[in-house]
Amino acid sequence: MKAEIIAVGSELLTPFRQDTNSLFLTERLNELGVEVHFKTVVGDSRADLVAVARIAMTRADIVILMGGLGPTEDDLTRECVAEALGIELHRDPEIITELYKRFAERRMKMPENNTRQADVLDGAVLLRNPNGTAPAQWLQTNWEGDRRYLMLLPGPPQELKPLFDSQCLPRLKEVLPPQFISKRVLKVAMGESACDARIAPLYTKVPNVQTTILAHGGEVEIHLQSRADRQEEAERRVEELAGELEEELDDCVISSGGESLEQIVGYYLQMRGATLAVAESCSGGMMAERITSVPGSSRYFLGGAVVYSNELKTKLAGVPAKLIAEHGAVSREVAVALAEGIRERTKATFGVGITGIAGPTGGTPEKPVGLVYIALSDGKDNEVVERRLHGDRERIRLWASFTGLDLIRRKLI
């Protein structure tokens, strides 16, 4: 089944408010086997809201409107949905009584406009809202011969979420056919286009598994999802395709269960009984931050140094001043010296050194912004890679830290 989520409120069309409810609802609907095909944000305009509601009814089996159920003149959801469906509203006396009681308990006089919150679509089931004054509504109706399920929900997340879970989910489960879902996330150390070029011939042959490729921070996530009438069938489809993709991508696969690169590096270090230390210049401690974001990283991560100045490269990581003067702070030689120096000074199994130009200034024709050297030392061999990274300062730092972590991963496997 298809769903559409409509967020109502002019404030959501400004930089000051963001719709987060739709993420929550999408997750809940996906768990039921319902795909969200459309998400719409509409302002507090009667004409626009009526038009959006009508369009949604033509293309979605489940339509959820969030917001616009308050007492003010710009809370138009109830009236506009009634107009879009060609049905009437009626005022529920029990809701009015509850509203008066709630205000009386607070020793406040209820404004007359609050009675608008008791307006109910003809045929709708009223859903009590224990966390607010605006009740929700559930309506099962027909649109041009097709069955539709319509929900009007309050906008505040602290009201919407518990109300949807307690009152809408059970109703949806009663009317929706049972479906079982299997999911897998593969993380891959390569570019998005290169990854897709290798695996597209495989996943395009399996239409009953939805494959989504997402790129972020040097790695690619491959999301696999399948729905079936039986859990075993859904899992079989996903596992078969995941196995083919892993075989094709080989050592580029970081993890096959969604674990992060820093988690995988931690697993390998613990398996080997190995330790790690880092000396970072242009990445500014980002690699150390990523490593220590994993609980228990103190078992294998000894620490690191952010050595921005040449003086601290020498003082904290033991890089000879003569080496810096001869080759420059951004060079293969200095990256290796950073890795060796921090490893020796901390007595770690592995040392990583990162130096480069994160920008936006400081580059030259010979050494442009984005030039980064990352080195790995284990006391016997040194590896160093040169990267010409593109993007802003934050992206360059992120990719540099990713490359340092991936160097360790590949060394350990």
* φ, ψ at 311 (rounded to 5°): -60, -40
Give residue 31's pLDDT.
87
Backbone angles phi, psi at 377, to 5 degrees: -125, 135
Q: Please, are residues 176 and 184 in contact by the beta-carbon 8 Å criterion?
A: no
**pLDDT at residue 248 in the model:** 97
Query: What's the pLDDT score for residue 187?
Result: 97
Domains of the chain: 2-175 (3.40.980.10), 180-255 (3.30.70.600), 261-412 (3.90.950.20)
Q: Which pLDDT belongs to residue 89?
A: 95
Dist. CA 149–CA 135, nearest whole Å: 17
CA 66 – CA 81 distance, rounded (Å) = 12
Give me the amino acid identity at 289.
Answer: E
Residue by residue, pLDDT tens for the chain (413 residues) are 899 999 999 999 999 999 999 999 999 998 888 999 999 999 999 999 999 999 999 999 999 999 999 888 889 999 999 999 999 999 988 888 888 888 888 888 888 778 888 899 999 999 999 998 889 999 999 999 999 999 999 999 999 999 999 999 999 999 998 778 899 999 999 999 999 999 999 999 999 999 999 998 779 999 999 988 899 999 999 999 999 999 999 999 999 999 999 999 999 999 999 999 999 999 999 999 999 999 999 999 999 999 999 999 999 999 999 999 999 999 999 999 999 999 999 999 999 999 999 999 999 999 999 999 999 999 999 999 999 999 999 999 999 999 999 999 999 99
Give the pLDDT confidence score for residue 272 in this predicted structure: 97
- Considering the entire predicted model, what is its pTM? 0.78
The predicted structure's pLDDT at residue 216:
82
Please, where are the H alpha helices in 273-331? 286-292, 310-317, 321-327
The runs of H, that is alpha helices, within 296-381 are 310-317, 321-327, 332-346
Q: Could you tell me if 290 and 301 are in contact, meaning their C-beta atoms sit under 8 angstroms apart? A: no
In this prediction, residue 95 carries a pLDDT of 85
State how far the Cα of 325 lies from the Cα of 356, in Å rounded to an integer: 15
pLDDT of residue 329: 98
- Rounded to a whole number of angstroms, the distance between the first and last alpha carbons of the chain is 44
* Phi and psi, residue 218, nearest 5°: 95, -15
Query: What's the pLDDT at 134?
Result: 85
